[in-house]
Amino acid sequence: MDDSQPQFLEVGAAARRRRIAYRRRGGEGPALLWLSGFLSDMTSTKAAAVAEWAAAEDLAMMRFDYSGHGLSGGDLLDATIGDWLEESIAVWELMGEGPRIVIGSSMGGWIALLLSRHLARVRRSNELAGLVLIAPAFDMTEILMWRELPQVSKDEIARTGVTYVPSTYADPYPITKHLIEEARSHLLEGQPFDPVCPVRILQGMCDPDVPWRHSLALVDLLAGADVELTLIKEGDHRLSAPQDLKRLTATIATLARRAG
């Protein structure tokens, strides 16, 4: 099975039903699950690099687009963290049995943590062979968005339900009232938990979007003993330079060997 063509999965019910695009490659275990960042998709530089590396190593890999992103259906203005977590769980189930490693970039790091907490709550942590988190933006809607928004933007959200924030990467992006309020039921701050697997965090110290101290706070939040944080002095948010991609795949390879 190769991932040259996207496939589709229906997630949700009634008015919340949406069509999710994914690319799945067969191979050996442990299988890899890629979780993208906010406004990113499964064809991003890092996702594609990991997929190419996984193919060379003959490792199975799954990647997908959240609703409102890439090839998936749904409207970004209607989407929530809960939606994207639900989609991640559905894709996890589609992957079948066997140990799996989750790689989460930026917001995908938060979704990966929520997925691991879900697995712990349903007593299935044995399925999770490791987490690799790249600039993990846990609780980003509250800590990195809402708390940092100027009052004029907060007033606009209250009045219209949405505000648009300038981006250094693309066009201004929306922050909706629905996104902020629904996400408060998924916050991790102040609620330590053990993902019951090795956790490896890669964080650039020149990241303007997710400050390195945010990842340091995550280390304190995680109750598990096997947590390592790598700080890259000149690293930015994307960590997509050749040396960053090499470091990322080497990190995944180490966990894969342990799981194998």
The full DSSP string for 202-259 is EEETT-SSS-HHHHHHHHHHB--S-EEEEEETT--SS--SHHHHHHHHHHHHHHHHHH
Residues taking part in catalysis: 106, 207, 237
What is the SS3 string spanning 139-186?
A: CHHHHHHHHHCCHHHHHHHHHHCEEEECCCCCCCEEEEHHHHHHHHHH
Q: What is the pLDDT along the chain (260 residues), one digit of tens a residue?
A: 677 789 999 998 888 899 999 999 999 989 999 999 999 999 999 999 999 999 999 999 999 999 999 999 999 999 999 999 999 999 999 999 899 999 999 999 999 999 999 999 999 999 999 999 999 999 999 999 999 999 999 999 999 999 999 877 778 899 999 999 999 999 999 999 999 999 999 999 999 999 999 999 999 999 988 999 999 999 999 999 999 999 999 999 999 999 87
42 three-class SS: coil
Tell the CATH topology of 7-138+194-259: Rossmann fold (3.40.50)
pTM: predicted TM-score of the whole model, two decimal places: 0.96
Q: Report the C-alpha gap between 250 and 246 in whole angstroms.
A: 6
**So where are the chain's domains?**
7-138+194-259
pLDDT digits (tens, 9 = 90+) for 47-106: 999 999 999 999 999 999 999 999 999 999 999 999 999 999 999 999 998 999 999 999
Closest CA to 102 of 9, 191, 185, 197: 197
